[in-house]
Structure 1
Amino acid sequence: MYDFEYVKPSALEEAVRILSEDDAAKAIAGGMTFIPVLKQRFSQPSVVVDLSGLGLSYIRREDDTLVIGAMTPHGVVAASPIVQQAIPALAYLAGHIGDRQVRYRGTISGSLANNDPSACYPSAVLALDAIIKTDRREIAADDYFQGMFTTALEPGELITEIRLPVAECAAYVKFPNPASRYATVGVFVAKTAAGVRVAVTGAGQDGVFRHRAFEEALDKSFSSSSLDGIETPVDMMNSDIHSGAAYRAHLVGVIARRAVDIASA
């Protein structure tokens, strides 16, 4: 690592001030991505701002909305009776991120801010049409994700909480990489009063994306058989050492059908 100053503010305003005053300052949530980046010297921050003292770890339900604080660890989301009752699919998703050590250090905001193309949370946030609340504004999920490792967050802008509508039914299924447990392909299906949304992670060249063709078919009939004959374009898919684009395109359909069957049940 390069030398840097470490600070742990106790107020959101202080954290925002430090980040806004120094372009080389970086925020750290759970550190599951940022610490390896530091160790490999891919980043040289002047100041590392630890967000764990801001009191942003909480879960509550407000009518038909599930509210999760930005610094809430995956393991806490997975074990929460509130989440399990409101959106069981989200609790399942959180409980299958990485291993136990990762789940009790990694946070929902860290995952969303990093927007790794194989991360699980972006698919849930996009499929549930969630709102990402920051210290400055509220951002709709459709506007938030802007490509691989790219979001609508401005420099120094911090996520404070995520507001997720409670779905009529939902399910998340992923085909995990056996080593990292990142999603080779993950599909989150959510049915709400506004319709069906299907979000795919791990497969797309530009990161998480909505599968519009699946959504249109499921809006007409919420059954896995409705997806028969609908192909995912291969040229949209990522290809790497773990699987090729054609395999991922095929797997998107397989995983989506499983997710619909689980949600239907």
Structure 2
Amino acid sequence: MILLDGKKTSADIKEEIALEVAELKKQDKKAPHLAAVIVGSDGASLTYVNAKVKACERVGFESSLIRLPKETTEEELLNEIAILNIDKDINGFIVQLPLPDHIDEQKILMAIDPEKDVDGFHPMNVGKLALNLPTFISATPFGILELLERYNIETSGKDVVVIGRSHIVGSPMSILLAQKRKVGNATVTLTHSRTKNLSEVTKKADIIIAALGIPEFLKGDMVKKGVVIIDVGITRVADSSKKNGFRLVGDVDFNEMSEKASHITPVPGGVGPMTIAMLLKNTLLALYRQEN
């Protein structure tokens, strides 16, 4: 069994980006500039945004963190986005989700300039993705494609099962892997909570992408020998043997699956670290597109 090491792969990608940015600076060109907007003080969101800022520093990007109080109105946030949309110094920006309940997330995402939408959530970018046109692929699906490519996992003609139909991972993943592309040309089945006899479907799969958010849902007896497992889930589970009282697990029962899988992503250290790396890659792409 081979571990698909997202931590190492993301570090490799960041190193490649850093070299590219250093080359830009040698030519007296501007470095990419990524901005992040966060509303309120959600602990997990703050941790994630701070990790993005540190990643920017590591690769030589400029970065801006805009922290707004939880009481910020929808109109105030829309005004902030309007300023970022026209700021020529900023190549890409994200609005950290979730937002407070009084703010309409979809309205906010719609307000972001698609050319600066490095999260890839704007409907225009989602539409381009569906049509296989150049666009920003949202970071988690982008990271999964990169892992599959760098570990030379063949997808062409393979049976792929995606478990979970979220707009962030499941749905775009099913579209991307079915497309005519280097990591694609697969026969994809998108499954979800209403799928009947799920194990009958998963047992036929060559590759499974589990993104449903139920800890250790996928068991060893639900797959065939030699399957490739991409585990997108991450959940805290109580564990009194741990100093902090919990452990992190994915949507896949790792112990059972390690006896069946040919390749598998660990949790943590698999898909998660790839997300920030691909956000940086999208920001670099944004810079190049805006220059042309």
TM-score normalized with structure 2 length: 0.28
Q: Which has the higher helix share?
A: 2
TM-score normalized with structure 1 length: 0.29
Higher relative contact order, structure no. (Cα contacts within 8 Å, ≥ 6 residues apart): 2
Q: Which of these two proteins has the greater Rg computed from alpha carbons?
A: 2
Q: Which has the higher strand share?
A: 1
